[in-house]
Amino acid sequence: MGVSKQFAISSDYVLLSIAILIPVTNFLLIALIVKNRNLRTVTNTFIISLSASDILVSPALFTFISLKYASDKDVIKYGNMLSLIVLSISPVSALVSGLFVSLDRFCAVCYPLTYAR
């Protein structure tokens, strides 16, 4: 069962707009943290790391998704395997960054006098 052409076109526009918004908003977030001295904290370093991984992963991810919708067959050899690898790396980087942010906040709450700022 194939995907209807109208759905493929509309989903491509949605994916294209998301693929443009993700890097732009992440670049803005990184620029905000780098420019403002008050925002240069350990926690925001992990957030910058998460934003950088989003910037690197999102173009590849949305390219494979849109190519899959655009044609009925695989355009790129090993495209499904490569998109699966990209899909599995992105959540892992988000989980590791979230883990370190949580650990940083735990140290800040439990050891407020010895927490380095």
Instruction: Output Rg (C-alpha) for the chain, integer angstroms.
Output: 19
Which pLDDT tens digit goes with each residue over 88-110? 676 777 777 778 888 887 887 88
In a domain, 46, yes or no: yes
* pLDDT tens by residue, 52-69: 888 887 777 677 666 666
CB 97 within 8 A of CB 46: yes
Cβ–Cβ under 8 Å, residues 21 and 43 = no
Residue 69 inside a domain? The answer is yes
Whether 115 maps to a domain, the answer reads no
In this prediction the pTM is 0.63
Q: Which of 47-51, 74-78, 86-90, 97-101 has the lowest mean pLDDT?
A: 74-78
Count: domains in the chain: 1
Domain membership flag for residue 79? yes
Domain range for 65 is: 5-110
The residue assigned the tokens 């050891």 is 111
117, part of any domain: no
